[in-house]
Structure 1
């Protein structure tokens, strides 16, 4: 079923919209949640919360592209669940590494958390268009989907060290781009 039809079903408050969304985007959202949470049950709960969040958000918003809209809701819910689960205990996983890697793009006086989120998001989106396609895909796989380096390497037929180098160079380009755009 096409996105605009599903969105229209949400708009008309048709409960079938949730079933159609789960059928079309369930695996996509589960991948995002699982890469952040590393727990199948938590990821499943997060995805179910995504459907509720979508149900509540669509009457106010009418997204033209459903996948990024759902991905953003899933990521935010997964990050919140991750932070909540780690509040009492500190754990490993890819997410702390991903944040540490991205923090290199911020200057010493600023942190990723204190930057204006909307401005930073727009600048990063513009930056991604400056990268070659493979570098952009590797960057997104790591920093949007939270995929481990080994999985990215396998997906693109690269060595893990090549992925690290690609990401390092992209982060350096991002830092320079953000400085040039005066975001940092």
Structure 2
């Protein structure tokens, strides 16, 4: 960190060698199926690290890199909203998969239709919060929404999804 802080290019190379796979992994989770963008994004993140090297502190570098990578990946995805990756199985966990392939295809199709019933901004908010685990506050900030608006959109979206799923024959599970 001292060498990086002093502007030693070899220190930046060492930082890249150590954290490039991690930064690409963060990007891959947000931009699935776009490996060409992962490396480009990683390059942007490390350039930002170089530009902000005086602010970086030992023990906080990984978190800083993760935050910058996540923000930039979401910004890229937001720039391609029409391409928002809402894979049909995005909300399924491995343990929740149906028993047969036919059941899986049916559920995948139903989930796709359910998410498709939401407008684009609501879908993005759902994916950010429920799939990527972003806090509502963080998702609202990155989507340039008021926090109360984001909370209202999530609540209304949950209600719409519940009604949609009930209409096609799925009953909600009781907690």
Report the TM-score when normalising by structure 2: 0.51
**18, 29, 38: which one pairs with 1:35?**
29
**2, 12, 16: which one pairs with 2:6?**
12
| Corresponding position: 1:115 with 2:147 | yes
Give the Cα separation in 2 of the matches to 1:90 and 1:69.
Answer: 25
Question: 2:57: which partner in 1?
Answer: 62
Give the Cα separation in 1 of the matches to 2:139 and 2:43.
Answer: 29
Give the Cα separation in 1 of the matches to 2:138 and 2:9.
Answer: 42
Using the TM superposition, give the Cα deviation of residue 59 of structure 1 relative to its aligned residue in structure 2, in angstroms: 1.7
Deviations 1:69-125 (A, max 9, x none): 111111111111111122x5454245945325279x86xxx9951239xxxxxxxxx
Structure 1 vs Structure 2 CA RMSD: 3.3
| Corresponding position: 1:99 with 2:128 | yes
| Mapped contact 1:32–1:75 kept (Cα < 8 A) | yes
Q: Tell me how many residue pairs correspond in the alignment.
A: 107
| Corresponding position: 1:47 with 2:14 | no
Question: 2:155: which partner in 1?
Answer: none
Matches within 5 A, 1:51-90: 51-86=46-81, 88-90=82-84
Provide runs of 4+ in structure 1 moved above 6 Å: none
Give the Cα separation in 2 of the matches to 1:99 and 1:48.
Answer: 23
Report the TM-score when normalising by structure 1: 0.48
